[in-house]
C-alpha cells in the first residue's frame, strides 16, 4: 500500500501556527511591541490603520539586525533568545519561541527595515504569505521598522471573523496598555488613522497609570511593596471605594510580562474582604519579580499563562502584601467606639419626594420638608415600636393618592387578572409598609409577608419605561444649557464609537471633538440634574458589566445598563406615599417578579414559613435549657 503520512510544507505549517499566534490584529501588536522591547528600544511608535486590518507598524530605536538575522527572523523556530533546553527555565525576554514573525508573515504582507549601530546601510525585506518578494540594501534609520499590511489577505475566511473597527481597536488598546504599563521606562506613542491616541514619555509607574487611565486615578492609588526570598512585589492598588463591577483594570506583571491568573486575582480580592462588595473588582497594577526557575511560561503561544512551582506561597505573599498596603494607607475602616454598630443614624434621614423625585421631571407630589428624627437621643434601641411610631408621627401627610397616581403611558399599565392576584387584593388605603435599611420594603398580605427589593423594583420600572419610550419617543433628550466636554480613556472612547447609534437613541447628543474627547450637548430627559460625565461613564461601566454576562442586542443591553444605574441611586428612606407609589408602579410593570437580568424582586413568606422560624427557635431554646 502507498504511504499516506507526509511532511507538511512550511507555508501550511506556518498558517497552522498562525491560527494560535495571530488571532486578530491585536495579536500582531503584542508580538511586535515585545520584539521591540527585547531589542532594547528606548522609544517605540505604534502606527495603526483601520483598527489594524490595513496596517500595523512598529518603529523602534533598538539594536537592529544584520542582513542574515533579518532573513532568519522569518524562519520557523528561529530565535536569538534561547539556545538550550535549560534556557527555557531561565527566560527573561518577552519572546523566545521563534514563531511570531513566521506566523505573521504567513497571513499578511510584511515589510521589514532594519539597521544596526555601526552599519552604514540597512536591510529591507518584503514578504507575502511566507514568500520572500524582495530583499535589498537601503538607507534607513537606526533600529527596526516592521509594517504588517492587509492581515489575513490570503485567508478570507479568517478575515471575515474579524469584528468591527471599534471592537478590534479596543483589543489593540488592551494589548498596548498592558505593554506600556509593564515598561514605564520606555517612551511609547500610538497613532490610529494618523491621529494621535497616546504620547507617553518615559516616566515612573504612577505617572504611567495616570497617563493611561486619567487624572482621577491620582487620588485612588496606594503603593504596595513586599520583598521576600521567593519573590518581590511592588506596584499600586486602588482604594476600595473605587472598585468596579467590571474587570479589565487588573494587571499582574510577572518579570514585566502581563499574565492572567485567577488564583492570584482571588488573593487580591480576598485581601479586600469586607471592604468591597462581593461582585466588585479592585484596581491593581502589581509587579512580581521572581527567579525564572520557579515559573513556567511555555504553556501557550500567547505567553499569558504562567505556572508557579509553589502557588500557595505566592498566593499568601500577594494577599499579605495587599493587606499591608491597605493597612498602611489607612484604607481599612476605622472603629468608632462611640457609635452603636447595630444602628446607622445616617441611613434614617427622611428624604422628601420634592428633593428626590420618583422620576426627574415628575410633579406628582409636593411635600413639605419633613423634620429629621434625631435617633442619637435614643439609648434604648430595643424599644423599636416607639421609635417607628415617633417617626411616623413626624412624617407629613401626603396628598390624596387618587389625584396624583404616577403611571406610565403604556399598555403595560393594564394589570392582568394574574397580576392582580399577585397583589393579594390589598389597596394603598389599607397597606402597612415598613422599610428596612433603605433597601427592602416589607408589607403584610393575606397569605403572610411580602418582601420587595427596592433597588430591583426600580430597575424593572426604569427598564420598562425605557423600552416603552423607544417606540414612541426615541431619542427624547434634555438639551444642556452649557455643553460639557467629556474626557474618556481610549478604551471607553472606542466603546462609545461602537455603540454610538444606540446611545443616541437613548437621548444622548454629542459631537466628537478629538480622539478621546466628546462635547456632550444633551442627555436623556429623565436624567436631568445628574453630573454629565458621571452619567456617561456610569452607563459605560454598567454596559461593560452586562456585556460579559448577556448575549442580547446592544440596544437592550444599553437600556438595562441605564436602568441599573438609576436603580443603584435609589437607596434612600421613603415615606408611606413614596413606598405606595413604588409598589403601584412595580405591579403595573411588565414583570413585577424579576429584573430584566432575571434577579428576584419579590419574595413571599407564607404564614407557615413564618411560624416555622419561631417553632425551630422554640425547640432550640428547649434543648439549650436541658
Report the pLDDT value the prediction gives residue 228, as an integer from 0 to 100: 92
Domain assignments of the chain as residue spans, ordered by start:
10-202, 212-328
Q: What stretch of H or E contains 509?
A: strand 509-514
Distance CA 108, CA 55 (A): 10
CB atoms within 10 A of CB 300: 10
Q: Which residues pair with 285 in a beta bridge?
A: 236, 251
Report the pLDDT value the prediction gives residue 437, as an integer from 0 to 100: 79
Non-local CB neighbours of 161 within 8 Å, separated by 6+ positions? none
Q: Label residues 67-97 b or e (16+ Cβ within 10 Å = b).
A: beebbebbebeebeebeeeeeeeebebbbbb
DSSP-derived 3-state class of residue 459 = helix
Mind listing the pLDDT tens digit for each residue in 428-487? 445 688 888 778 888 888 878 888 888 888 888 877 777 776 544 455 667 777 788 887
CB atoms within 10 A of CB 268: 22
User: Fold identical between 10-202 and 212-328?
Assistant: no
Q: Which residues pair with 458 in a beta bridge?
A: none
Q: pTM for the full model?
A: 0.61
Rama region for 118: left / alpha / beta (φ>0; ψ in -120 to 50; rest): left
| Inter-CA distances, 587 with 420, 458, 582, 592, 602, Å | 8, 12, 9, 5, 11
Q: How many CA atoms lie within 13 A of 533 on its CB side?
A: 11
Report the pLDDT value the prediction gives residue 377, as an integer from 0 to 100: 36
Distance CA 253, CA 22 (A): 22
Report the pLDDT value the prediction gives residue 448, as an integer from 0 to 100: 84
> The domain 10-202 is classified under which CATH number: 3.30.565.10, 3.30.1490.20, 3.40.50.720, 3.40.50.300?
3.30.565.10
Q: What are phi and psi of 328, to 5 degrees?
A: -60, -40
Report the pLDDT value the prediction gives residue 430, as an integer from 0 to 100: 53
Identify the segments of the chain with pLDDT beneath 50: 333-392, 394-429, 471-473, 550-552, 617, 619-620, 624-626
CB atoms within 10 A of CB 19: 14
User: CATH topology for 212-328?
Assistant: Ribosomal Protein S5; domain 2 (3.30.230)
Report the pLDDT value the prediction gives residue 492, as an integer from 0 to 100: 79
Whether the Cβ atoms of residue 80 and residue 105 lie closer than 8 Å to each other: no
CB atoms within 10 A of CB 603: 12
Report the pLDDT value the prediction gives residue 215, as an integer from 0 to 100: 83
Mind listing the pLDDT tens digit for each residue in 264-297? 999 999 999 878 887 788 999 999 999 888 887 7
Cell numbers at residue 69, please? 538575522
Beta strands in 468-592 (DSSP E): 477-487, 509-514, 517-524
Amino acid at each position: 500500500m502507498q504511504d499516506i503520512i507526509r511532511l507538511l510544507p512550511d507555508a501550511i505549517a506556518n498558517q497552522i501556527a498562525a491560527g494560535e499566534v495571530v488571532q486578530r490584529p491585536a495579536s500582531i501588536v503584542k508580538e511586535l511591541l515585545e520584539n521591540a522591547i527585547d531589542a532594547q528600544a528606548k522609544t517605540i511608535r505604534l502606527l495603526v490603520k483601520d483598527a489594524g486590518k490595513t496596517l500595523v507598524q512598529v518603529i523602534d530605536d533598538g539594536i537592529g539586525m544584520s542582513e542574515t538575522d533579518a532573513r532568519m527572523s522569518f524562519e520557523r523556530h528561529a530565535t536569538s533568545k534561547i539556545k538550550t533546553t535549560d534556557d527555557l527555565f531561565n527566560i527573561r525576554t518577552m519572546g523566545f519561541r521563534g514563531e511570531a514573525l513566521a506566523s505573521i508573515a504567513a497571513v499578511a504582507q510584511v515589510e521589514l527595515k532594519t539597521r544596526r549601530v555601526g552599519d552604514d546601510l540597512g536591510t529591507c525585506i518584503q514578504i507575502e504569505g511566507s514568500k520572500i518578494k524582495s530583499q535589498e540594501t537601503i538607507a534607513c534609520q537606526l533600529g527596526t521598522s516592521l509594517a504588517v499590511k492587509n492581515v489575513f489577505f490570503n485567508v478570507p475566511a479568517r478575515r471575515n471573523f474579524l469584528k468591527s473597527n471599534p471592537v478590534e481597536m479596543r483589543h489593540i488598546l488592551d494589548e498596548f496598555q498592558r505593554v506600556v504599563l509593564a515598561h514605564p521606562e520606555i517612551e511609547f506613542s500610538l497613532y490610529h488613522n494618523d491621529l494621535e491616541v497616546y504620547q507617553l514619555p518615559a516616566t515612573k509607574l504612577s505617572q504611567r497609570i495616570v497617563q493611561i487611565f486619567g487624572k482621577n486615578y491620582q487620588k485612588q492609588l496606594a503603593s504596595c511593596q513586599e520583598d521576600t526570598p521567593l519573590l518581590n512585589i511592588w506596584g499600586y492598588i486602588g482604594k476600595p471605594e473605587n472598585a468596579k463591577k467590571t474587570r479589565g483594570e487588573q494587571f499582574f506583571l510577572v518579570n514585566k510580562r502581563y499574565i492572567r491568573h485567577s488564583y492570584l486575582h482571588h488573593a487580591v480580592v480576598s485581601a479586600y474582604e469586607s471592604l468591597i462588595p462581593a461582585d466588585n473588582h479592585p484596581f491593581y497594577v502589581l509587579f512580581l519579580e521572581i527567579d525564572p526557575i520557579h515559573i513556567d511560561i511555555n504553556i501557550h503561544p500567547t505567553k499569558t499563562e504562567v505556572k508557579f512551582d509553589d502557588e500557595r506561597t505566592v498566593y499568601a505573599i500577594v494577599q499579605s502584601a495587599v493587606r499591608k498596603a491597605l493597612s498602611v494607607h489607612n484604607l481599612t475602616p476605622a472603629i468608632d467606639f462611640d457609635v452603636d454598630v447595630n444602628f446607622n443614624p445616617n441611613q434614617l434621614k427622611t428624604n422628601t419626594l420634592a428633593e428626590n423625585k420618583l422620576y426627574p421631571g415628575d410633579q406628582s407630589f409636593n411635600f413639605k420638608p419633613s423634620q429629621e428624627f434625631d435617633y442619637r437621643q435614643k439609648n434604648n434601641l430595643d424599644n423599636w415600636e416607639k421609635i417607628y411610631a415617633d417617626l411616623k408621627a413626624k412624617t407629613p401627610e401626603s396628598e390624596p393618592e387618587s389625584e396624583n397616581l404616577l403611571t406610565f403611558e403604556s399598555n403595560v399599565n393594564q394589570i392582568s387578572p394574574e397580576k392582580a392576584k399577585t397583589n393579594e387584593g390589598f389597596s394603598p388605603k389599607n397597606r402597612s409598609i415598613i422599610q428596612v435599611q433603605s433597601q427592602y420594603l416589607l408589607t403584610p398580605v393575606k397569605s403572610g409577608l411580602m418582601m420587595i427589593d427596592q433597588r430591583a423594583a426600580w430597575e424593572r420600572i426604569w427598564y420598562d419605561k425605557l423600552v416603552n419610550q423607544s417606540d414612541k419617543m426615541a431619542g427624547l433628550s434634555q438639551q444642556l444649557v452649557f455643553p460639557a466636554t467629556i474626557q474618556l480613556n481610549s478604551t471607553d472612547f472606542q466603546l462609545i464609537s461602537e455603540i454610538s447609534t444606540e446611545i443616541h437613541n437613548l437621548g444622548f447628543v454629542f459631537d466628537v471633538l478629538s480622539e478621546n474627547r466628546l462635547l456632550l450637548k444633551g442627555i436623556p430627559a429623565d436624567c436631568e440634574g445628574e453630573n454629565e460625565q458621571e452619567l456617561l461613564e456610569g452607563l459605560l461601566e454598567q454596559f461593560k458589566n452586562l456585556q460579559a454576562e448577556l448575549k442580547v442586542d446592544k440596544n437592550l443591553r444599553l437600556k438595562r445598563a441605564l436602568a441599573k444605574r438609576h436603580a443603584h441611586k435609589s437607596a434612600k428612606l421613603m415615606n408611606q406615599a413614596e413606598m405606595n407609589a413604588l409598589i403601584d408602579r412595580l405591579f403595573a410593570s411588565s414583570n413585577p417578579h424579576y429584573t430584566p437580568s432575571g434577579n428576584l424582586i419579590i419574595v413571599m413568606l407564607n404564614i407557615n414559613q413564618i411560624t416555622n422560624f419561631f417553632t425551630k427557635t422554640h425547640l432550640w431554646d428547649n434543648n439549650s435549657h436541658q
